[in-house]
Amino acid sequence: MLTANLWVSTGFVNGATGTITDILYKEESGHKSLPTAILVSFDQYRGQTLTNLDGISDVPNVPIRSMWEGKSGICSRLQFPFSLTWAIKVHKLQDLTLSKVVTDLGKREFAAGLLVYHL
């Protein structure tokens, strides 16, 4: 699941879901560094894509640098704006509209009405 609004008009937004189809590294890195790109087939993306040999439309994603001022100076972080969605907590799902969800409702509710509230 994408965790940032990168291109709103194409559906490349926070909460967009898809499937990782490939991870690309620089040849000399030997898979020991951050990938240069991750190819993802997004479910609702409406922008330009790369089509692989299997006919799947992929969107190349590159790491994003975030910078902020911390107590000890300027800090930065380089990461891909993704979250694995096979396991996500309820508070992270609030205000998201998801077209597909697989869940285990368990044998009982934690509190009366809580399940209906979250669905």
pLDDT, tens digit (0-9, with 9 covering 90-100), for 35-85 = 999 999 987 888 888 888 888 889 999 999 999 999 999 999 999 998 877
- pLDDT bin (cut points 50, 70, 90) of residue 90 is low
Report the chain's mean pLDDT, rounded to a whole number.
81
Query: In this predicted structure, what is the pLDDT of residue 78?
Result: 94
The percentage of residues in the chain with a pLDDT greater than 70, rounded to a whole number, is 74
Distance separating alpha carbons of residues 96 and 55, to the nearest angstrom? 29
Question: Taking residues 9-28, what's their average pLDDT?
Answer: 88
* Total-model pTM: 0.67
Strands 57-61 and 73-79: unpaired
Q: Where are the domains of the chain?
A: 8-85
- pLDDT bin (cut points 50, 70, 90) of residue 116 is low
